[in-house]
Structure 1
């Protein structure tokens, strides 16, 4: 995968779009590069005494925290006065002590031309302040300026297969909340802080969006408002029509594999790549199809028929055993055999097939062990990702707190301590992608680490990604396929990150402690339920997909 993000990294020190609190009043008067503020007098009235509902046993904001109200407008003298009713909420993990005491509220999702203004309010409901500077930033970019505090807010565009991030200003900065907007980068108990980011609008004219944050589970399929955004206290939102913004986004890769090891698939924003096992298709050193090859190739042809690709590439590969004099012609013959068979199985008109052999020159895995060599003996079928995918539908009943609805649980022992995992029903984000939220509890008497939670599942294709909840997968019993956590290619195009709980939220568990984790995961088509595996816990059967 060599795809690189849309925007190039340009560093600069001047910040013409970054307005300090003292300059906000002048900016409003001149309307230069910022959006006009909405008519606050015309805001509809709401009952400020009615707090947003919450799930049972959910930590609530401490005394003195403002209660969200739809009609209340933020004061432009008090940075903690944002009292808007949330569109969706979740409990985030405190970066220092690891407890779920930070309430994350999505308080704004407004379309502005070809961008969407995302606004997230954080409130520490416990008693300990949190340093937020490095917890709302883009963890997948090495080129963002350190002052870009909210560069990590984004939108998961499932239809396009990309993670949309805050656009870049002409000087290389972020169209988002920056350090100068805050007197000090601390989240103090009972004093909410609101962050904003201008993110490219999702593709296909979508009317809802799944909002990504690096510190809490994504907010799934929230309706996008066409009303002008109400800026956070003491901040101004740039007008994308005049701000000369450059869109920034990262490709998302979805891994899956068949349970019989016959094929593994990766789908990103551009291509579908299906690695067919030569051990299943052919006998040793032969290019004639085996008896078990027909079912594998029929499934592959079905995926080609469902796409709109005009050309299909077929590439034969070998492991490092043997010589080039044997491996090169063998890989060519095998690729051509697959080409001929797929051409007879594909029913869609106008598809052309190209076959090539590469011998052992392009291994995907290490040839140092038998499993790696087995996976390198393959025929890869690749074609363009379908150009049109259905846009997500807005959530019909968005919950203020999205987690806390167990879909199933299982138990195991970790270093002698009893542990339990609870998995929520998996929420569909869009075609082939969903959100899995789960909690792990140490029911024992000693502090214990779940080290294997961040391991890479060996049964799935690709190199995996950096993250704290990578070792999860779901199984579709009907199609006998395994699906893993989504992977994002960072700003440099080569480093991979799991679209899941970050590694900074450590997996150590005190006695009787519960921690929440999440992962954006590949899903089979139209599932009603799946089997879920989390690290070394026994699999959970029939977890609902909603």
Structure 2
């Protein structure tokens, strides 16, 4: 593949796909993004994206609501043994950015791809049509990335501008009560220290419930809980000039589904939002274990407890192997793993097995996979539209995502992990955890 600035505002990416099978293979449905807005062309390779890891943004192809995507469009069949050239033009990152991570939905992410330079030219978007990258009608679609870290008491969402700390109401409050317990006091000390380092002067505190009960109960309960958190923070934050804004929303602003217990638990929360403190200077990673030699897996694990919704259908025999755990120049980590089914009686459905059934992501990727340490759990990076930086499972043909005996399938995902973390446990639903894997 190639990645080039063709104008100060446009970057063009080019790929060549090879079909090594004996049958025609169509990739167009796997490269089509969900229909979130009119800039995501439903007849084109609109799911391709670039990650500006310096600024924490995800760039989608330039598009025009009427003309379509400035990328390969239409049907994309690849003949047996044949090739297909795919192209897309993206909004360029700032001039000082010299590399980008390239997200091609059907392949592991390409880390730190250098930005070259070449003259602008008409872009071949179909076999018979070309588009002008300099036309003034192309519109940019750039979304901030959100990095989520969980621990037993809270979750922290970081979009590069704001921190949102979500306290689990189940952990810090008694049922239907608004008095903070000892666990809450401990975690609020950590939050207060971050507020002290924040450049902003406003802290927003929002209380939320699930949809159990009535609004007459949920709304005032969520307000009282937000007020309790405010009162605690006012005592713990040491700097002056901070304004606290509280609001109870009841069940009106869910961030997860209310159709299952895990989603309802996620919705029962108090969220504390404030301007992101300036991050500390990058730590020099301490030496860790050497990564596996090229071509050798970092680790393997057998089948474990069945994933959610697969209690009676998950294979009894199989394996996951970790092929790559690698960090880019700015802390984003690419995880690549391969699953194998050794059970002759049951298929391995890799689409639904790796979903996060809480509903905090769009259900289209491998968002149920987690990287962890004893102190934290790192979730798959997503953008502000909740679209994960991982494979796009929605467009996969049925025969691809149902892995039968003796078949293997390789998957991937992107995470954000602090520089001081040099080894991780990989948790793939349906398999036993693989511990102490070094980050390359």
* Range of TM-score over shorter length: 0.7 to 0.9
Partner Cα distance (1:373, 1:468) in 2? 21
Q: Structure 1, residues 347-386: CA drift from partner, whole Å, max 9, x if none?
A: 5665432223344554555667766555444321122456
- How many angstroms does 1:157 deviate by? 2.8
Partner Cα distance (1:231, 1:464) in 2? 36
Partner Cα distance (1:325, 1:388) in 2? 42
What SS class does the counterpart of residue 426 from structure 1 fall into? Answer: strand
Find the structure with the greater CA-based Rg: 1
Q: Structure 1, residues 217-240: CA drift from partner, whole Å, max 9, x if none?
A: 121111111344788898998664
Corresponding residue of 1:519: 413
Q: Is the 8 A contact 1:140 1:497 kept in 2?
A: no
Q: Which runs of 5+ in 2 are unaligned?
A: 283-292, 305-312
Corresponding residue of 1:245: 138
Partner Cα distance (2:5, 2:381) in 1? 26
Partner Cα distance (2:427, 2:3) in 1? 35
- The range that moved more, 314-323 or 525-534, is 314-323
Corresponding residue of 2:439: 545
Q: Is the 8 A contact 2:3 2:113 kept in 1?
A: no
Corresponding residue of 1:163: 58
TM-score computed with the length of structure 1 as normaliser: 0.65
**Equivalent position to 1:438, from 313, 320, 337:** 337
Corresponding residue of 1:177: 72
Does residue 274 (structure 1) correspond to residue 154 (structure 2)? The answer is no
Partner Cα distance (2:102, 2:280) in 1? 19
Corresponding residue of 1:421: 320
- The range that moved more, 111-120 or 185-194, is 185-194
Aligned CA distance change for structure 1 residues 388 and 360 (closer, same or farther; 3 Å) = same
Q: Structure 1, residues 93-132: CA drift from partner, whole Å, max 9, x if none?
A: xxxxxxxxxxxxx134335212211111112233333234
Corresponding residue of 1:26: none
The equivalences for 1:96-495 within 5 A come to 106-139=1-34, 143=38, 144-145=40-41, 148=44, 150-169=45-64, 171-179=66-74, 185-203=76-94, 205-228=96-119, 240-258=133-151, 260=152, 262-268=153-159, 271-283=162-174, 286-305=177-196, 307-318=198-209, 328-346=219-237, 350-364=241-255, 374-385=265-276, 404-412=295-303, 415=314, 417-429=316-328, 433-445=332-344, 448-450=347-349, 454-457=353-356, 462-477=359-374, 480-488=375-383
Aligned CA distance change for structure 1 residues 384 and 451 (closer, same or farther; 3 Å) = same
- How many angstroms does 1:318 deviate by? 4.3
- How many angstroms does 1:390 deviate by? 9.4
Aligned CA distance change for structure 1 residues 424 and 325 (closer, same or farther; 3 Å) = same
- The range that moved more, 351-360 or 513-522, is 351-360
Corresponding residue of 1:79: none
Partner Cα distance (2:27, 2:359) in 1? 33
- The range that moved more, 164-173 or 314-323, is 314-323
Of Structure 1 and Structure 2, which has the larger fraction of its residues in strand?
Answer: 2
Q: Is the 8 A contact 2:202 2:245 kept in 1?
A: yes
What SS class does the counterpart of residue 531 from structure 1 fall into? Answer: strand
Partner Cα distance (2:42, 2:269) in 1? 44
Aligned CA distance change for structure 1 residues 372 and 125 (closer, same or farther; 3 Å) = closer
Q: Is the 8 A contact 1:453 1:470 kept in 2?
A: no
The CA RMSD measured in Å over matched residues stands at 3.8
Q: Which runs of 5+ in 1 are unaligned?
A: 1-105, 392-401, 491-495
Corresponding residue of 1:87: none
- How many angstroms does 1:244 deviate by? 4.0
- How many angstroms does 1:421 deviate by? 0.4
The equivalences for 1:84-103 within 5 A come to none
- How many angstroms does 1:508 deviate by? 1.8
TM-score computed with the length of structure 2 as normaliser: 0.79
Aligned CA distance change for structure 1 residues 140 and 453 (closer, same or farther; 3 Å) = same
Aligned CA distance change for structure 1 residues 363 and 488 (closer, same or farther; 3 Å) = closer
- How many angstroms does 1:501 deviate by? 2.2
Aligned CA distance change for structure 1 residues 333 and 444 (closer, same or farther; 3 Å) = closer
